Amino acid sequence: MTNAQQKIETPFNEEFCTQLEYRICQELEKSTDPELKGFWCDGVSWFPTENQLTKKNVNDKRRIETKAWIGKTGQTEFKATVHFGKKAS
């Protein structure tokens, strides 16, 4: 297996997703969009498919697709995409 195929140590983990959840809540609270009034985030999954956490995927795609639970009850499941910058790896 080459280095590009190996799973890399990832900062995309439970701690990162918890911080992302709190940040989403803060941004929703500040929103002036009346349709988002009362929305909050109840979590972001830190379990993307395994191939998304390879060095090759991070370099090539520059994103991880996962899910987040957002809404007035915090239970509506949404597709969430985390985009990485050029220096992500």
- Return phi, psi of residue 66, to 5°: -145, -155
- What is d(CA 77, CA 44) in angstroms, rounded to the nearest whole number? 10
Whether this prediction's pTM lies above 0.85 is answered by no
pLDDT in tens, 11-63: 788 999 999 999 999 999 999 999 999 999 999 998 877 788 888 888 889 89
What pLDDT, on the 0 to 100 scale, is given for residue 79? 95
pLDDT above 70: residue 67? yes
Please, which residues have CB within 8 angstroms of residue 48's CB and are 6 or more apart in sequence? 12, 64, 65, 66
Count how many Cα atoms sit within 13 Å of the Cα of residue 33 in the half-sphere of its side chain: 6
Q: Is there a contact between 48 and 66 (Cβ–Cβ < 8 Å)?
A: yes
* pLDDT band, very low/low/confident/very high, at 10 (cuts 50, 70, 90): low
